[in-house]
């Protein structure tokens, strides 16, 4: 069945993988990005090559008006939404909490928490059956850091992902009778650009080797879980937080 999906932060990494895997199923994808238009265009081309439809949508998820415009653009292009992936997220360079300034923490919480909550709110408004939606699936992208705490590296980021877990639990109960399933994936050490943005390009390789599975994960390995949660194949899965972390 064809689906209309919006994925935040889909220009690169996990979001891009989820977009291309959605394209393989023939779905239509709103490919959101913050500033890297070239990467977003590459994702759009890859979704189309895989058999789906896609448009690129520039929107900073810390900006409420931009979020609403992004949802509108997806629905104008493809029709009513069936699924949303709350994936956009950032880290900052490793630091003890004692050395973090307010601007850093505010940016983490604005993008990773408030941005995700506002996208979840829009998803609830547009997919809930009682509000004229046709039901759907919301997948939140948390992180293993939410249960590990991120000591000496990023307790701010870890806490932001703890909020995503709690959002998943609460909203899944709010929307169960609205035809909307809410779940999360909680990736571990995945090879993407995010580690370089935190100042440690080889972080996933080095720490991934210490996990039970003995290696880092790939963006596709997370993307597969996301697309499964978006699909009817997971129709009785609700309020779940799926660890995709190689046992780590």
Contacts with ligand NAP by CB under 6 A lie at 8-15, 32-36, 39, 60-62, 87-90, 111, 141, 143, 187, 189-190, 192-194, 197, 204
User: In whole angstroms, how close is the CB of 187 to ligand NAP at the nearest point?
Assistant: 4
33 is catalytic: no
State how far the Cα of 8 lies from the Cα of 74, in Å rounded to an integer: 11
* Element of type H or E holding 184: strand 180-187
Catalytic residue among 33, 117, 154, 157: 157
User: In whole angstroms, how close is the CB of 181 to ligand NAP at the nearest point?
Assistant: 20
Q: Which is nearer to ligand NAP, 61 or 128 (CB)?
A: 61
Q: Which is nearer to ligand NAP, 60 or 220 (CB)?
A: 60
DSSP conformational letter for 245: S
Report the phi/psi class of residue 199: left, alpha or beta, with left for phi > 0 and alpha for psi in -120 to 50.
Answer: left
Q: Which is nearer to ligand NAP, 36 or 231 (CB)?
A: 36
How distant is the alpha carbon of residue 147 from its chain centre?
A: 18
User: In whole angstroms, how close is the CB of 124 to ligand NAP at the nearest point?
Assistant: 19
3-class DSSP assignment, residue 136: strand
* Element of type H or E holding 6: strand 4-7
Q: Which is nearer to ligand NAP, 61 or 182 (CB)?
A: 61
* Element of type H or E holding 145: helix 145-148
Residues 74, 30 contacting (CB under 8 angstroms): yes
User: In whole angstroms, how close is the CB of 177 to ligand NAP at the nearest point?
Assistant: 28
Q: Which residue numbers are catalytic?
A: 157
């Amino acid at each position: 069945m064809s689906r209309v999906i919006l994925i935040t932060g889909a220009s690169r990494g996990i979001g891009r993988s989820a977009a291309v895997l959605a394209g393989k199923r023939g779905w239509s994808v709103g490919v959101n990005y913050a500033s890297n238009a070239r990467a977003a265009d590459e994702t759009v081309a890859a979704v189309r090559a895989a058999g789906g439809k896609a448009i690129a949508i520039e929107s900073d998820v810390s900006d409420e008006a931009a979020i609403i415009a992004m949802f509108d653009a997806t629905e104008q292009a493809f029709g009513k939404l069936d699924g949303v992936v709350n994936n956009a997220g950032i880290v900052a360079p490793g630091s003890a909490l004692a050395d973090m300034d307010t601007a850093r923490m505010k940016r983490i919480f604005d993008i990773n928490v408030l941005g995700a909550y506002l996208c979840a709110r829009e998803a609830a408004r547009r997919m809930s059956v009682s509000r004229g939606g046709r039901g759907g699936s919301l997948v939140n992208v948390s992180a293993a850091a939410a249960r590990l705490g991120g000591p000496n590296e990023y307790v701010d980021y870890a806490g932001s992902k703890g909020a995503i877990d709690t959002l998943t639990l609460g909203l899944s109960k709010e929307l169960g009778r609205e035809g909307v399933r809410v779940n999360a994936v909680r990736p571990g050490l995945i090879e993407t650009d995010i580690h370089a943005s935190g100042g440690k390009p080889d972080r996933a390789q080095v720490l991934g080797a210490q996990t039970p599975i003995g290696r880092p994960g790939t963006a596709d390995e997370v993307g597969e879980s996301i697309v499964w949660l978006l699909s009817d194949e997971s129709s009785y899965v609700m309020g779940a937080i799926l660890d995709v972390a190689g046992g780590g």
